Amino acid sequence: MVLKMTEFFALLKDNSFIGLGQAGHALIGGRPLGIRLLCFLLILALALTLIPVQAASAQTKASQTVTLNFVGDILLASRIQDLIDAEGPMAPWIGVKDLLQSADFTIGNLECAVGTTGSPMPDKQWTFRASPETLQGLKDAGVDVVSLANNHTLDFGVEGLLETIENVKNYGVIPIGAGPDEASARHPVILEKHGIRIALFATSMVIPVWEWAAEGDRPGLAVDYSMWNHNIVTGIEAVRPHVDYIVVYLHWGEERTTEPEDWVLRMEKVLRDAGADIIIGSHPHVLRGLRFDGKSLTAFSLGNFIFTTRPDCPACQIGAILSITLSKTAIEEVVIHPTEIVWGKTFVMEDQAKLDALATLDLLSGPFDTDITSSGQVLERIFPDVLDHWARVNVNKLARLGIVTGFEDGRFLPDKPVTRAEFATTLARVIAGKLELDNTDVPLFGPDEFTLCAPGHWAYTYLTYLAGMSILPAHDPEWIPDEFCPRAEVCTLLWKAAVRHNAANDMDKNGNGGTGEDAEDGAVTTGITDRLWSQFRNELESLDPESQTAVMWCISESLLMGYDDGTLRLDNPVTRAEAATIIRRFMNRQNNVP
């Protein structure tokens, strides 16, 4: 059908990615090649500008995230078809459906034709076709999008591919990476939730014959290569200004090998340079390592997910669910859950089997400066000595922003006490919103007006910055910058910074120099004061009134935590790990979370 422009706009207004796909297909269908390509660009531009985005407050946006689940190869034919015929469509999925359904969107690679039409490709060793009813389990398990850009969806010819596309749609799942012509095969899917917009592309680098590639009006798959990548790069560059994240799902690599080939690494670089944030690989049928630098992520292969059992290849039975949590501005968390296929049924691995699989993934990811923890967290390797440390997430996040740094030997030394100058510098960077301060950021002090440290001290600019805001004193002979910073003093600095921050906000709102009720932030209600005083009286009595208030405020705001024995140990120095964690909590409280 040929869609009128007014009808196209109406489909866009429904704000659903399904409506977007329907609009694109209807507008492109039935037109000459040149018009089709022009329409494709028009669809992309209009879809990215006309779909409404729900408004949210700044505070709400800071806490809103989207979770994506990615899985590897999904085969519904052959012995999986036999299992479904015997036990129902959910039989292969029963052990993983809860985890899949917990995400906002789940994406995988459908490695077979689905339908009843077409003829098997002559001389092809493996041809797979499943009945349409098998898709019910895929849908009910929580899969939202499937890539069809692989070396099996055309096993039963063009007729089988086109039926597969329609069957997938009929079951409420979005197909991507294949289509009745090149423009539709290359069209991205736009996923959106909480105002976070994600463009998802799919393409294959593995096809048996070139005729499988969609070209002009010819039906087929999106196909790209590391040295022939104009189409995928152009698509990424076109969508980049209009979305928060770009995901590319690729079919690449040699089967049953764990090390990415040079041509795979070249393609990865091409896609990252073009603007891809997340790259997901399939086809090797075994797990490969991951590359995560805190900003972009590549999973070189997630292995087999729903697939036939191959006793001759134990590694082919191991796959994974890759869960990625995204905020508006950052990849907040990456966790990988190893899975195992047991006679056609897939289960999330547990106990020692899980630990062994994660250890293997960690070994495979090491060459890419990425660490996999025993809990499945995927972490960029910034400091080798924080991999298994309780504060690793906070340390890595602040290091990624440049707020904390390591030592010359590459270590962070998380359990080393932090000095007063180090903690003050970290706090100053957070308050100022910049890593390096210069003379324009700080008040001019005369030779005798600031005596905490000499002008040649490395932290002089940061300390004078805080002194100018009355967070630090300008004079205090007992305040030595290179001494360790006690827990009570950390509380006082944070309390003063919070009071000043909210007083400044109040002045902006009321124009009265910060005399509105927001300027009272930093006070502790009477009930909380009485409870904390009763609980920690022996430690609080030795402090001056200002420090007492600061400590109780930090406890009430969950910035400072006590020890297992019920003490605060306020004279103890704060470690570098504790300082990073407290600063992250403070940033969260101030809605300044990276």
Secondary structure (DSSP) of 100-136: HHTSSEEEEEE-SEESS-S-PPTT-S---EE-GGGHH
pLDDT digits (tens, 9 = 90+) for 493-546: 999 999 875 544 443 444 443 333 333 455 666 777 889 999 999 999 999 999
In what helix (H) or strand (E) does residue 237 lie, and over which residues does it extend?
helix 230-239
> How far is it, in rounded angstroms, from Cα 168 to Cα 170?
5
pLDDT number for residue 59: 38
**H-type helices in 275-368, by residue range?**
351-365
pLDDT number for residue 443: 85
pLDDT number for residue 516: 34
> How far is it, in rounded angstroms, from Cα 67 to Cα 325?
4
Question: Is the pLDDT confidence value at 41 over 80?
Answer: no
The residues, any chain, with a CB within 8 Å of residue 44's CB and separated by 6 or more, are 187, 188, 235, 238, 239
Give residue 397's pLDDT band: very low, low, confident or very high (50, 70, 90): confident
Residue 70: phi and psi, rounded to 5, are -120, 140
Question: Is the pLDDT confidence value at 552 over 70?
Answer: yes
pLDDT digits (tens, 9 = 90+) for 107-133: 999 999 999 999 999 999 999 999 999
pLDDT digits (tens, 9 = 90+) for 452-485: 999 999 999 999 999 999 999 999 999 999 999 9
pLDDT number for residue 438: 81
The domains of the chain are located at 1-52, 53-381, 420-589
DSSP string spanning 532-594?
Answer: HHHHHHHHHTTS-HHHHHHHHHHHHTTSS---TTS---TTSBPBHHHHHHHHHHHHHHTT---
Average the pLDDT over each of 128-137, 355-364, 399-408 and give the range with the smallest value: 399-408
Percentage of the chain lying above the pLDDT 90 cut? 73
Give residue 63's pLDDT band: very low, low, confident or very high (50, 70, 90): low
Question: Is the pLDDT confidence value at 48 over 90?
Answer: no
Quick one: DSSP state of residue 200? E
pLDDT number for residue 332: 93
Rounded average pLDDT over 219-232: 94
pLDDT number for residue 393: 81
pLDDT number for residue 387: 78
Look at the domain 53-381 and name its fold: Purple Acid Phosphatase; chain A, domain 2 (3.60.21)
C-alpha closest to that of 92 among 103, 105, 82: 82
Q: What SS3 state is found at 384?
A: helix
- What are 70's strand-pairing partners? 107, 322
Name the one residue in this structure whose structure tokens are 């028009």. 42
Sign of CA dihedral 127, 131, 137, 143: positive
Mean pLDDT of the chain: 87
Exposure string over 287-303, b if 16+ CB within 10 A, otherwise e: bbbbbbbbebbbbbbbb
Structure tokens at 465: 């910055």
The pTM (predicted TM-score) of the whole model is: 0.69
Question: Is the pLDDT confidence value at 341 over 90?
Answer: yes
**C-alpha 170 chain-centroid distance:** 30
